[in-house]
Amino acid sequence: MDRAQTQARIDAIEWYHEFDFGNGLRAVTRSDVEGHRAIWGFIERHLAGIDFRGKTVLDIGCWDGYWSFYAERRGAASVLATDDYSQNWASARGIYLAKELLNSKVEINPSQSVYDLSRLGRTFDVVLFLGVFYHLWSPYHAFAQIRHCCHPGTIVVVEGNATYGLPAGGVLYESGRTTSRFTPGCEALDDLLMAAYLRPTGRELLHPPVSPTPAIPAPEPTDRLGWRWRLRMAEAALRGSRPGVRAAAETLFPPAPPPPPAAPPKPDSRIFVACEPLVGANPVHPFRPPYGLHVYDPRFRDEPGSAAA
Ligand SMILES: C[S@@+](CC[C@H](N)C(=O)[O-])C[C@H]1O[C@@H](n2cnc3c(N)ncnc32)[C@H](O)[C@@H]1O
């Protein structure tokens, strides 16, 4: 197949990511290129700190597999790329073509919901959960399933939308907003992860809050038209000094203060959180946790009726 035919195959697909397949072959994304590039740069900066060499990797909600292929390129021993393609506007055609063009060995599971991950019966060294949780109806259910794919030492990385415009611990749940149905405050996201026995070890915001600019104090009222002012003005005028007259006048009409700072940007940001699996007494749960998470907590593991995983 020649280059033009291959490019035609690429162009027949609706891509989420941009790919450079080499030899001039490119996939272009269909929406908000600049916004997405900023997010992909943010993700890549953080993934750069992970050593993928020899690791087993699970990529959840991988879409066309960009980060799965990235992990493979960085030396992962195996990568399982999963998605539930009923949940996006494209299909799995992109990831299969990308796999072919990149001559990749990534394993693809195109009908794997995050809500059923524990059925895999597998654990991984690195779990990528990038750009997914804020689309979900039940992010906590998803985090619990991810916890069941961890073994000691697993690194879980979670990336998505967050806000710092809510009271501490608050979340914004907008059922009709498919682009961000669930937008947590940063503390709430930490709490949810902890509640799933995933302990946050570091987090960063793409757009951290800007500290408010201090207010400019109003000028002190002065006795500008008192006899000293009149004398200064008269002296300057007699000397024929225009700058002197201007300086005296400026005390009467001080230069306008600078305009107030622009309204703060929307308190939304992308957030990147790295986590490690927690085994032990979890302070978030005074009572037995749901979704089989009790097996990670010695206080509940051996309760009657508890089947340890
Ligand atoms: C914004 S894309 C993120 C793609 C990629 N992970 C990235 O960061 O560039 C969200 C992906 O999550 C997937 N998704 C949504 N709900 C899902 C679910 N319940 N289980 C698995 N994947 C899901 C969508 O199909 C889509 O591919």
Tens digits of per-residue pLDDT, 106-136? 999 999 999 999 999 999 999 999 999 999 9
Please list the helix, strand and coil fractions of the chain in percent, rounded to the nearest 5, in that order.
35, 25, 45
Q: Are 170 and 188 in contact (CB under 8 A)?
A: yes
> How much distance in Å is there from the Cα of 30 to the middle of ligand 1?
16
pLDDT, residue 245, reads 64
pLDDT at 307 over 80: no
CA-to-CA distance for 153 and 278, rounded, in angstroms?
Answer: 10
pLDDT, residue 210, reads 81
pLDDT, residue 253, reads 62
Task: Report the pLDDT averaged over residues 65-72.
Answer: 98
Model confidence pLDDT, tens digit, residues 197-209:
999 999 999 999 8
| Residue among 63, 128, 178 whose CB has most ligand 1 atoms within 8 A, to mutate | 63
Of residues 166 and 223, which shows the higher confidence score? 166
Of 194, 200, 199, 196, which is closest to residue 292 (Cα–Cα)? 196
Task: Report which ligand 1 atom has the smallest distance to the Cα of 40.
Answer: 9
Instruction: Using DSSP bridges, classify how beta strands 150-163 and 268-277 pair: parallel, antiparallel or unpaired.
Output: antiparallel
Of residues 230 and 77, which shows the higher confidence score? 77
- Tally the residues of the chain: 309
Lowest mean pLDDT among 174-188, 225-239, 259-273: 225-239
Nearest 10 degrees: Cα torsion 155, 153, 81, 182: -40
Question: Mean pLDDT in the chain?
Answer: 90
Q: Phi and psi of 7, rounded to 5°? A: -65, -35
> How much distance in Å is there from the Cα of 223 to the middle of ligand 1?
67
**pTM for this entry:** 0.84
- 3-state SS, residue 255: coil
Task: Give 309's pLDDT tier (boundaries 50, 70, 90).
Answer: very low
User: CB under 8 Å to 107, separation ≥6 — which residues?
Assistant: 78, 79, 80, 81
CA-to-CA distance for 126 and 155, rounded, in angstroms?
Answer: 5
pLDDT, residue 222, reads 55
The single-letter DSSP state of residue 67 is H
CA-to-CA distance for 123 and 52, rounded, in angstroms?
Answer: 15
Model confidence pLDDT, tens digit, residues 244-303:
666 666 666 666 777 665 655 578 999 999 999 999 999 999 999 999 999 999 999 987
> How much distance in Å is there from the Cα of 88 to the middle of ligand 1?
7
Extents of the domains making up the chain: 34-208+268-301
pLDDT at 306 over 90: no
Instruction: Using DSSP bridges, classify how beta strands 198-205 and 268-277 pair: parallel, antiparallel or unpaired.
Output: antiparallel
Of 306, 307, 299, 296, which is closest to residue 147 (Cα–Cα)? 296
> How much distance in Å is there from the Cα of 28 to the middle of ligand 1?
18
Lowest mean pLDDT among 150-154, 209-213, 304-308: 304-308
Task: Give 240's pLDDT tier (boundaries 50, 70, 90).
Answer: confident
Work out whether the CA dihedral 94, 100, 104, 110 comes out positive or negative: positive
Of 112, 105, 121, which is closest to residue 82 (Cα–Cα)? 112
Task: Give 227's pLDDT tier (boundaries 50, 70, 90).
Answer: low
> How much distance in Å is there from the Cα of 216 to the middle of ligand 1?
46
For the domain bounded by 34-208+268-301, which CATH number is listed? 3.40.50.150
Task: Give 18's pLDDT tier (boundaries 50, 70, 90).
Answer: very high
Lining residues, ligand 1, CB within 6 Å:
61-63, 66-67, 83-85, 87-88, 113-115, 130-132, 135-136
Query: Residue 9 belongs to what H/E stretch?
Result: helix 3-11
